[in-house]
Amino acid sequence: MDAFQIYIIISIAVLAIIAILVFFINKKKKEQGLTPLAKYAFIFVIAGILFGDNWMIGYSLLGIGIILAVIDIVMKLKK
């Protein structure tokens, strides 16, 4: 296993831990599901990590996910 594969495994593990923590924290609060834009951002970021072998596709998907997340944050702040 090279360093890149270890980085991918660690990234996926950290994202899984964050998702689990958010799931348990949200159970205590009232239902506040993800917005559709946030769901797409999350999917693009995960796809960017999974397709990391091809750096052009991986970084493009990550960039799209980050842009969608920022748009979602700005839209929530304006409400």
Residues 40 and 26 both lie in one domain? no
Asked whether the CA dihedral 54, 56, 61, 65 is positive or negative, the reply is positive
Query: 29 and 52: one domain?
Result: no
Task: Looking at the structure, tell me whether residues 26 and 53 fall in a common domain.
Answer: no
pTM score, whole prediction: 0.61
In a shared domain, residues 62 and 74: yes
Q: What is the pLDDT of residue 76?
A: 84
Shared domain check, 24 and 11: yes
- pLDDT (tens place) for every residue of the chain, 79 residues total: 678 788 888 888 888 887 777 777 666 656 567 889 989 999 999 998 888 788 888 889 889 999 998 998 888 888 7
The pLDDT assigned to 40 comes to: 92
d(CA 20, CA 39): 15
Residue 50 and residue 73 share a domain: yes
In the chain, how many domains are there? 2
Name the residue range of residue 45's domain: 34-79
Which two three-digit tokens encode residue 2?
Answer: 């090279």
